């Protein structure tokens, strides 16, 4: 963008009656479309679009010997989404998006209880892959909305223990009921292996569905801020402030991270005001996404790739 174009966009946004090219107010989102369960062999999947920005998310579960369950993210930025970027720049961009997501989901409070198989020995590792189909602005909000929808769609296979290890030095008289084939074990003996009771398309919903974080990007120009910027508006805004919030309870908000994009810095008073506003916007966005998912659950349309739209 030229300096004249940037100046024109900023003047329109900061006018007494702000004007945006598509007629929205400063706090309006573009049309949000989402679909879930669109990848049959994934444990959970979603496709979310806000305006012209579209992201596909897929969740896969893997059994690990790690003592703790984990959630990791990987973002892919194909050349078709950013045709003007060199391969090295695409890798840098994907790495930046991946870092922001992983830094948020590294919070131990976000790890669901039902990702544990044998406590301290075997757990599920959830890998969330996200592909950016197109970027027409506000990519961080769309990435988190796609991740949240895919996690809500994720089903965890139920398991049951099938093998136990007797304590060292245990005698036959001290053992409990037999398990067959002459093998007996104490009732409190720890499990060392398990079996999966569900098929690939069954399982329990991933716990904590109401607490997955959302991201709200506040685009800052002198005296005002606005939501859901287009690429043109992002180029004209000197700063962007990202806030990642979750709402484990209706009356409770938890901040998982924030990030300032752009040169320079903000004062603490500015950050405090933006934090309060960001929490309010994030809660409304989370409520809107949850309401849309509930409409899908109640809908008679059982087509897994059906797209629902909210404004």
**Does one domain contain both 150 and 179?**
no
**Does one domain contain both 190 and 211?**
no
Output the pLDDT for position 100. Answer: 95
Q: Euclidean distance between the first and final Cα of the chain, in Å?
A: 29
- More confident of the two residues 89 and 201: 89
**Does one domain contain both 50 and 141?**
yes
- 127/249 Cα distance (integer angstroms): 26
**Does one domain contain both 191 and 213?**
no
**Does one domain contain both 59 and 208?**
yes
Side-chain-facing half-sphere of 85: CA atoms under 13 Å: 15
Output the pLDDT for position 190. Answer: 65
Contact 48, 32 (CB under 8 A): yes
Contact 128, 112 (CB under 8 A): no
pLDDT digits (tens, 9 = 90+) for 114-124: 888 888 888 88
Phi/psi for 187 (5° steps) reads: -60, -35
Cβ-Cβ contacts under 8 Å for 107 (sequence gap 6 or more): 256
Whether residue 4 is contained in a domain is answered as no
| Most distant pair of Cα atoms in the chain: their distance | 89
Phi/psi for 252 (5° steps) reads: -125, 135
Phi/psi for 81 (5° steps) reads: -85, -25
CA distance readout (Å), 158 to 29, 113, 194, 201, 211: 39, 12, 10, 11, 21
pLDDT at 204 over 90: no
Output the pLDDT for position 310. Answer: 42
The residue among 154, 175, 141 whose CA lies nearest residue 50 is 141
Residue 189: which domain range? 159-196
Tokens of 291: 């309401």
Output the pLDDT for position 302. Answer: 44
* Beta strand 70-76 pairing with 116-118: unpaired
Output the pLDDT for position 257. Answer: 92
- 204/278 Cα distance (integer angstroms): 33
- 268/252 Cα distance (integer angstroms): 23
pLDDT digits (tens, 9 = 90+) for 220-274: 998 899 999 999 999 989 899 999 999 987 668 899 999 999 888 888 999 999 9
**Does one domain contain both 146 and 263?**
yes
CATH of the domain at 43: 3.30.230.70
pLDDT at 142 over 70: yes
Whether residue 306 is contained in a domain is answered as no
- More confident of the two residues 213 and 308: 213
3-state SS class at 60: strand
Whether residue 238 is contained in a domain is answered as yes
Output the pLDDT for position 4. Answer: 82
Average pLDDT of 21-49?
Answer: 91
**Does one domain contain both 113 and 125?**
yes
Contact 308, 292 (CB under 8 A): yes
3-state SS class at 83: coil
Per the structure, how many domains does the chain have?
2
pLDDT at 199 over 80: no
Whether residue 213 is contained in a domain is answered as yes
Tokens of 60: 């896969």
| pLDDT classification of 293: cutoffs 50, 70, 90 | confident
């Amino acid at each position: 963008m030229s300096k004249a174009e940037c100046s024109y966009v900023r003047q329109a946004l900061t006018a007494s009656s702000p004007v945006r090219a598509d007629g929205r107010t400063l706090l309006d989102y573009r049309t949000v479309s989402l679909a879930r369960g669109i990848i049959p062999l994934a444990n959970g999947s979603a496709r979310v679009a806000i305006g012209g920005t579209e992201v596909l998310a897929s969740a896969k579960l893997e059994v690990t010997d790690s003592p703790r369950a984990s959630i990791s993210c990987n973002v892919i930025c194909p050349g078709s989404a950013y045709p003007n970027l060199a391969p090295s720049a695409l890798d840098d961009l994907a790495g930046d998006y991946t870092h922001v997501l992983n830094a948020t989901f590294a919070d131990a409070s976000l790890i669901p209880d039902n990702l544990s198989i044998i406590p301290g020995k075997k757990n599920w590792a959830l890998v969330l892959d996200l592909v950016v189909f197109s970027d027409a602005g506000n990519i961080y909000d769309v990435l988190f909305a796609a991740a949240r929808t895919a996690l809500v769609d994720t089903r965890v296979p139920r398991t049951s223990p099938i093998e136990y290890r007797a304590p060292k030095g245990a005698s036959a008289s001290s053992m409990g009921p037999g398990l067959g084939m002459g093998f007996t074990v104490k009732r409190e003996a720890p499990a060392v292996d398990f079996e999966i009771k569900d098929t690939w398309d069954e399982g329990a919903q991933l716990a904590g569905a109401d607490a997955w974080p959302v991201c709200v990007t506040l685009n800052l120009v002198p005296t005002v801020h606005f939501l859901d910027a287009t690429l043109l508006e992002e180029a004209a805004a000197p700063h962007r402030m990202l806030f990642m919030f979750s709402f484990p309870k209706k009356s409770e908000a938890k901040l998982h991270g924030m990030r300032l994009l752009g040169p320079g810095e903000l004062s603490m008073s500015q950050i405090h005001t933006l934090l309060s506003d960001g929490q309010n916007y994030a809660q409304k966005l989370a409520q809107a996404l949850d309401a849309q998912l509930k409409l899908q659950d109640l809908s008679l349309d059982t087509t897994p790739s059906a797209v629902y739209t909210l404004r």
